[in-house]
Amino acid sequence: MPADPPCVLSADETALLADDQFFRKKAAIGAKIRGMLEATEQALKQEVAAARLLAPPGFDMRNRQLVKGEHLEDFPYQYLDCPKHFDGVEKFTFRTLVWWGHHVACAMLLEGAGLRQYKKHIVERFHQLAGRELELSLAPTLWEWKRGEGYTLPITHDRKAQIAAVLAERSFVKIIRCLPLTDPRLQGGQLPQFSRDTFRALLPIVAA
């Protein structure tokens, strides 16, 4: 059988590969996003320290992590976990993710022994959560970051019964709030404020 033809670069692909300014700009943007995430870490440290959290055993509010990668569905990404708690099935983490080509996503990731109480708080404190741009993930995994129909369900005041019904079937809870990459708040370096405000909006779920 004939061998497969070699990979061929299009003219556009070749031009991009040879464009050193593109790669310099990518590196500069990445450094600025890291700076925003480091400032976000400082803002969230204060929020976490001041909150009375219904956290799992072994939770350490000092645990946090900054991560950078290139392949979240073929797109670069940078994120901060603060606080960060992954211990087997126990998950109690607030993530601020900048997903290049998509959006910023701030999300609370919850799984494990405390899940029943977190679900109860969502229902009992529903109107403290509703109308604050929060969405319930419908995905079968915590690691899906798309939003919109089929992926997330907006938490609005008229959806209490629907949200409660969905929660009853979930083995984990992920509540997310997204910011378009074209939003002036990101361009203006206000990621720390957006993340902090999202954490505050989510506190009714995890507050003791």
pLDDT in tens, 56-91: 999 999 999 999 999 999 999 999 999 999 999 999
**Residue 37 predicted with pLDDT over 70:** yes
CA distances in angstroms from 30 to 69, 78, 116, 134, listed in the order given: 11, 8, 38, 26
The answer to whether residue 5 sits within a structural domain is no
The answer to whether residue 125 sits within a structural domain is yes
Q: Domain count for the chain, please give it.
A: 1
Calculate mean pLDDT across residues 51-55: 96
pLDDT at residue 2, rounded to an integer: 54
The answer to whether residue 140 sits within a structural domain is yes
**At which residue do the structure tokens 């480091």 appear?**
38
Calculate mean pLDDT across residues 168-175: 97
The answer to whether residue 2 sits within a structural domain is no
Signed CA dihedral, 25, 28, 33, 36: sign only: negative
Question: Could you list the residue range(s) of the whole structural domain that residue 138 is in?
Answer: 11-206
